[in-house]
Amino acid sequence: MAIDRGILALLEAKPGKGEELAAFLEQGRALAAEEGGTVTWYAFKLSETTYGIFDTFTDEEGRQAHLTGPIPEALGKVGAELLAKDPDIRPVDVIAVK
């Protein structure tokens, strides 16, 4: 299985909403676990208001299924309440994996 693509999503929480965003991301793990095309899924915290998600995939079909799946749908429902701005979602090419 060659992991050669990913998604990096950076999320900026509204002031005072960082813990709620972190809790939302923790719940997202269960949704990602159900996605057959998602190889790895990480949620992380960079600061009190900056969070992110990094996912990896072996093919474009898996990446596109994730982009249109339950996690972005759920984020769309809470985004206006939790996020200071729209998510910065970037497709990435994975160069090396250990």
Ordered per-residue pLDDT tens for the chain, 98 residues: 799 999 999 999 999 999 999 999 999 999 999 999 999 999 999 999 999 999 999 999 999 999 999 999 999 999 999 999 999 999 999 999 99
pTM of the model: 0.92
**Contact partners, residue 16, CB within 8 Å, separation at least 6:** none
Give the strand pairing for 5-12 and 88-93.
Answer: antiparallel
Angle CA 98–57–28, to nearest 5: 100
